[in-house]
Structure 1
Amino acid sequence: MNVHLLRSPELSEETYRNVLQLLQNFQGPMHFIPCEEEIIEDTIRTKERIWNNKDDFEHLEINSFSAQESRNSSRFTIKFPYLEKVKSWKQLFTECDKYRKTKKISENDLVVLLTDIGNELNWFGGVDPNMKNYFIQTSNWEHFFGNTIDIRFPIAYEVIIWAMRYFMFENNEAILKGVHKKSIGCIMDFCEDKSQIIIKMRTADVCDTCMNHFKDRDTPTLYTRQFFEILDGIRNSMTFRSRSVLLQQPSRLEIRGYSRKIFFTDLGGLELRLNPKEKSIYLFYLNHPEGIIISHLQDYKEEITQLYSRFSNQSEPDIINRAIETLINPLDNDINVVLSRINGKIKKTVGESLFNYYCICGERGDRKKILLDRELIINNMN
């Protein structure tokens, strides 16, 4: 079965790609398909809703249309009054239907819209009556988990538990009846506050009662296996990230394939996306744990050129040579710009707490180096 992930225009492409990649890391009968973004156009007007206080914002009746988590949290950080753009559930599912019709999506496939826009019932996600269209709200997660959260994890978690509910329940009413009003560490917990949501995500478990829903509906084993592998992967990645600073344990760094894509293995396979020039310099410094002074880069011109030639879209040797000459010229500022961009992307990808393990560091005039233990580097060239 295919699960088509749609990106609304207001959701950053980077976040969308990171969520998609995280889900695609786990093989099985369920395939997560990227959308053709030109189809997802924001042609429906949003409304603006003012939340005057915390209690109004966090209130959610359990007999609402769908059975998703409440946003109740005693430590919620939004300042009130809070102005939020919202769409109706009908508008959100209309976008799913439009994509289905335009791309002739099979009726057996699921369509999931990822959007930063709020919704009329103030839910994290929802499903339409036919159980084939879904939306997940991708904004405000930092307010529940703090600024250190990698928002890929809660978003991917919401995607997979809604896919699980498709297999567990026949319709919306059955989902609603299956909700646990008292939290027990199950994906069907209603969750009334932030700490309960955190526990549910870290537990990433399904209680015996809910497990029986899979059995009663004769869900194929390959699907349930993939579900639990994804849940366990999300949980393990979140746990690793939170403990890494205390344990001084950075993630392994994996370099894959001919194009030498760079992934943080223990952070859910998060990719470090660098342009050809940036990737050439980063891999060059990975190859030299002793460090290299910037003014000495000219001595390594051939090595850097070989790397850049592999990644660059340019095929003309003269163009490649001029780019490298500019890059390694000690009188030019190009290398400093490239290093700054690399380090900025690393910090944005792994966060402040893990940044120092992976950045290219060194005082002005001294050797620049990457401190990561080379034993943590996995070279997978296949």
Structure 2
Amino acid sequence: MSEKLSISYHTAKRILLELLEDNDFSTDEDILKILGSVVQKETREPDGDEYSLSRIIIDKEGRVFLPDYSSMEIKMPYLPKTVFIFFLIHDEGIEFKSMYNYVHELYEIYQVVALEKNTEANKIKRSLDNLVEPVNNRIYETCSIIRRNFSVVIPEPLMEMYCITGKRGEKHQIKIDRSLIRIENAKLKGMFDTLNSI
């Protein structure tokens, strides 16, 4: 019974809600104890020290993990994952309107994260050209997808540390301390080390 099932947060939530609706757990002492401790934790006022930051690990296949919050991979489509890794690499921050200057670098990252799919080069290029086009909102939609995928495991008060933030027209960046990032993919690590050693 020590092995944990690997199911998504949303699936677990749905199952739990169905169980609570369809069954009377009001006499089960174990369940009441757990529910009581959850309610206590939720109602306690967080003092800021209650939450600690997780490391970010990008493995050899370009998969994203926050091991101090969850053992499950933070799954997201290739384009949002590419953008997330791009901003992790660029500690200094980048203005969205100047991202067209980095299309080649975005392409290199996309190739790593989409390796197993062997996506057609022209399709990647069209997707990236659309992303960096200053007149559309594709980059904001992409940042929204990243935030939504991270919200499954990151405590709400710490979301700003892991997501791409910034004011419109100014530099956007991921605020997390770079000492918490470990990149195992050789190509991505080379890009990260080059930019973060300057």
Please say whether Structure 1 and Structure 2 have the same fold, judged by a TM-score greater than 0.5. Answer: yes
Range that drifts further, 245-254 or 273-282: 245-254
What corresponds to 1:375 in structure 2? 179
Query: What do the CA deviations read for 1:75-103 (whole angstroms, capped 9, x no partner)?
Result: xxxxxxxxxxxxxxxxxxxxxxxxxxxxx
Shift of 1:338: 0.5
- Helix, strand or coil for the counterpart of 2:173? strand
Identity of aligned residues (%): 24
- Given that residues 314 and 320 in structure 1 are in contact (C-alpha distance below 8 angstroms), is that contact kept between their aligned partners in structure 2? no
User: Is 2:156 the partner of 1:329?
Assistant: no
Shift of 1:260: 1.3
> What root-mean-square deviation, in Å, do the aligned CA atoms of Structure 1 and Structure 2 show?
3.3
1:256/1:142 CA distance change after superposition, 3 Å: farther
Alignment match, 2:38: 145
> Could you tell me how far 1:4 is from its partner in structure 2?
9.9
> Structure 1: 5+ residue runs without aligned partners?
8-12, 19-45, 52-56, 61-68, 74-140, 150-242
1:289-308 equivalences under 5 Å are 289-308=91-110
SS of residue matched to 1:310: helix
The one-letter code sitting in structure 1 at the alignment partner of 2:132 is I
Give the number of the structure whose residues are more often strand, by fraction: 1
Larger Rg: 1
Residue 87 of structure 2 contacts residue 164 of structure 2 at CA under 8 Å; is this kept in 1?
yes
TM-score, structure 1 normalization:
0.40
- What count of residue pairs does the alignment treat as equivalent? 172
Counterpart residue number, 1:356: 160
Paired residues of 2:9 and 2:152 also in contact (CA < 8 A): no
Q: Which has the higher helix share?
A: 2
Structure 1 residues 377 and 58, CA gap change in structure 2 (3 angstroms):
same
Tell me the TM-score normalized by structure 2: 0.73
The residue number in structure 2 matching 1:266 is 68
Distance of 1:272 and 1:144 partners within structure 2: 27
* TM superposition outliers: structure 1 runs of 4+ over 4 Å: 48-51, 141-144
Which amino acid counterpart does residue 300 of structure 1 have in structure 2? Answer: Y
Q: RCO higher in 1 or 2 (8 Å CA, sep ≥ 6)?
A: 2
Report the alpha carbon displacement of residue 334 of structure 1 after superposing the two structures with TM: 1.2
Over residues 304-325 of structure 1, what are the superposed CA-to-partner deviations in whole Å (9 max), with x where a residue is unaligned? 0111122233532211111111
For structure 2, the residue ranges without an aligned partner over 5 or more in a row are: 13-18, 187-198
The answer to whether the 8 Å contact 1:291/1:367 transfers is yes
Tell me, yes or no, if the aligned pair for 2:55 and 2:180 is still in contact at 8 Å. yes
Paired residue secondary structure (1:273): coil
